[in-house]
Amino acid sequence: MTARFDRDFALLFTVMLTIAAGNTALQSVLPAIGRSLHVRDNAVAAAFSVSALLWVIAAPFWASRSDRRGRRSMILLGVGGFTISLTLCGIFLAAGINGWIGGTAAFMLFIVGRLIYGTFGAAAPPAVQAIVAGRTTRDERTKALTLLGSAFGLGTILGPAIAPYLLLGSVEGVVIGLSGPAFLFALFGAGMFVAVLRMLPNDRSEAAMDDPAAHGAVNAYPSIGGQSSGASITAATGQHIEEVGFLDPRVRAWMIAGLVFGHAQAMTGQAIGFLVIDRLHLPPAEALQPTGIVLMMGAGAALLVQWGLIPLFNLTPRVMMLVGLGIAAAGCALTGLATSLYGLATAYALASIGFGFTRPAFTAGSSLAVGSAAQGSVAGKVTSVNGASFVLGPSIGVGLYEFWHSLPYLTAGAACVALLVYCWIALQPSARASEAA
């Protein structure tokens, strides 16, 4: 690799990190904003469900278009959409905070801003992948894309961690307050847009340097609890000769497992901000730091599993799934019953450890169930399932939360137990899985 590629890679890594951190930072502060504006909790969840839905729909379109229209232009489109979306979200939230419009109206306009992010933000990740894939050899490609994918995982930690420190005071009598993270990450996004425009070469003029077989793949919606599972990397590097459906007998059980635990994780992650406010009896503005601590502990625990424990123990996908579901069930139930910050952080971290096992298990198990010709197809299905979990999962979780604060966590725990029994029966050890252990 050349010094120029190292510079470009650092820039692309930062693009991915910014997109993930900005989205999760906004997710972590939005429960407090919703409460301060007296908006129903389910309206807060709906704002992200709509965004996730559009991301799932738009991502395949942008992934295929980047190979025809140029990768840098797609990155600029994605970063531009991210920046415009957060700017509008900040303006609408500030308008509600200052009383210029009602809380409900502010959130309706906020959802409009989220539509822009869901539609255009998905353009950047596959184009970033394609550039890196095109400038690396086949031997270097998987390692480079894996490192690039870790930016999303780091973003899920950094976003909630720094969000409490991005609150702003008043500017010429206008209260910024809780809308500060949206404005500041919009500023980061604008900086990244300028950096990409000025520093990243126009890939059309350098097409001959790229491997013509290299391409990017759809990335799942960057969300709290949505750590990278490696599926998009397999989709970008694996063969796509044989098409495999979601209900193909070879992968059906894995798809069911991914959909169920994915929804359980999305439900619990979206409701955690409300749980911190209510269990600790905090005013919304004082809940940001405790919420950030809980989310940071959860994201860090999941990454510890994926980067440390799984390589250390070298477990088969089936064992990882069973162990992960058992731990996640216990963690979810304990989160629903916790009454202190220590209890919430510890229990949520335990649940995240469990999900930290299940996500890579889902990816690896689905991959090992088929031959080499179907790797790209199956990886695409895994990514789709991971993204779909954040379409309805948040709204379901917050809807259950409004009935009873412990309900989404107990429901998620029960779902993990039921899924554990199903996986024990349906996911029989295979010869390929045994060879991979």
pLDDT category of residue 380 using cuts at 50, 70 and 90: confident
| Of 7-11, 163-167, 351-355, highest mean pLDDT | 351-355
pLDDT exceeds 70 at position 226: no
pLDDT exceeds 50 at position 436: no
The pLDDT score that the predictor gives to residue 208 is 36
Q: What is the dihedral of CA 22, 233, 301, 276, to 10 degrees?
A: 40
% of the chain exceeding 70 in pLDDT: 86
Q: How is 123-174 classified by DSSP, letter by letter?
A: GHHHHHHHHHHHTS-HHHHHHHHHHHHHHHHHHHHHHHHHGGGG-EEEETTE
Q: Residue 177 has which token pair?
A: 């307050």
% of the chain exceeding 90 in pLDDT: 35
> pTM value?
0.86
Nearest to 279 by CA among 346, 336, 328, 348: 336
pLDDT exceeds 70 at position 235: no
- Looking up tokens 């599926």 gives 231
**Are residues 227 and 356 in contact, defined by beta-carbon separation less than 8 angstroms?**
yes
Cα 330 to its chain centre, rounded Å, is 23
169-194: pLDDT as tens digits: 777 677 888 888 999 999 999 999 99
| 239 CB neighbour count, 10 Å cutoff | 12
To 5 degrees, how large is the angle CA 220–CA 272–CA 175? 95
The pLDDT score that the predictor gives to residue 81 is 94
**For residues 44 and 49, what is the distance between their CA atoms, to the nearest angstrom?**
9
pLDDT exceeds 60 at position 435: no
Q: Mean pLDDT in the chain?
A: 84
Q: Residue 298 has which token pair?
A: 């959860």
**For residues 109 and 260, what is the distance between their CA atoms, to the nearest angstrom?**
32
